[in-house]
Amino acid sequence: MSNKTQIPDEVFDQAADWLLILNSGDMTVEQTALYEQWKTQKIEHALAIQYLDKFSIGTGAIARSGHSKKQLAAEQKTKFKFKFSSLCGLGILAVLGISLYIMPWEKWRADHYSKVGEIKTLHLEDGSKLILASDSAVDIQFSNQARQLRLITGEIFIKTANDPDLQRPFIVATEYGTVQALGTEFTVRDEDHHKIQVNVYREAVAVTRHEHNQTTLIPQGYRAFYDHEKTSQTIKLRNPQPYWTQQILAVENWPLKKVIFELYRYKHGSYRIDPQVQDILVSGLFPLNNINQSLETLADQNQLQLTFYSPFFLSIKNQQPPQTTKPQS
């Protein structure tokens, strides 16, 4: 299957319905035959089942009727060992947009890293303040010539301190260039290894790309993106500070799909948004230390239906109006 192949929304809905029946424990012989027939009709059907099953503990073996729950639990341990290689073999990781650019051990070997859902604050030897957003990693490389951080993945906030004795520059090295602080507070975010976003909240920074050694100044209150080809024009920031450092996601007229994407940077699992609601504009403040609460708030404010098929997979749809029954005559 090519990397461009997409699984239609209606197939996910059908797969989710089948998994609910499979989990019920009351699947009939006729239902089993219909399920097997549906699953083998198209490869998208099998892929949708496998994807949802990936985030549902214990469902993978339920279709093999006649096994006890104790047997299924024991088999699940073995199943997990083969899960990742099976997905890679089918090309599912690429199809579903799961990034393989950063291997876990590269993050774990970093000088400092944060877990999913964690915001970590560090005080560096020069007095500077460093905050790591969820699932981020950084190396610290201080010398007599420079104070340098290397952003491996994720997002960081820096509040630089003066260096009166050595007057060393403060630099953040990224995949596509460097960001030099000019007495400042700023954030640097790696956008899934496609581009780097820099937000400046105080003073200014100088961005220098590896290609062509081109330098761009980003002033206070502005942001810009850069990659291996170019640096974007500066764009005015909407927020005066990075609220994520205070465990808050502040949004103003964001499409729902962008809000959910940001919230899921702080939560394990995956999700699917119905195309009918993904572009709803959202404004508000949402806690990053309680993602489920933020999701419920979003649902209440925008008449959304949240369906958790497991702790690790969420379906987001438009809320269905209550069904009314006709009075009997």
pLDDT of 149-206, one tens digit each?
999 999 999 999 999 888 999 999 999 999 999 989 999 999 988 899 999 999 999 9
Residue 76 lies in a domain: no
Q: Are 5 and 42 in contact (CB under 8 A)?
A: no
Backbone angles phi, psi at 6, to 5 degrees: -120, 145
Q: Are 315 and 307 in contact (CB under 8 A)?
A: yes
Residue 66 lies in a domain: no
Mean pLDDT of 109-116: 91
Plot region of 177 (φ>0 → left; ψ -120 to 50 → alpha; else → beta): left
Confidence of residue 328 (pLDDT cuts 50, 70, 90): low
Residue 179 lies in a domain: yes
- Whether residue 116 is found in the same domain as residue 232: yes
> Which domain-ending residue is among 206, 236, 266?
236
Residue 123 lies in a domain: yes
Residue 115 lies in a domain: yes
pTM: 0.70
Q: Which two tokens stand for residue 168?
A: 């060393």
Number of neighbouring beta carbons within 10 Å of residue 66:
5
The number of folded domains in the chain is 3
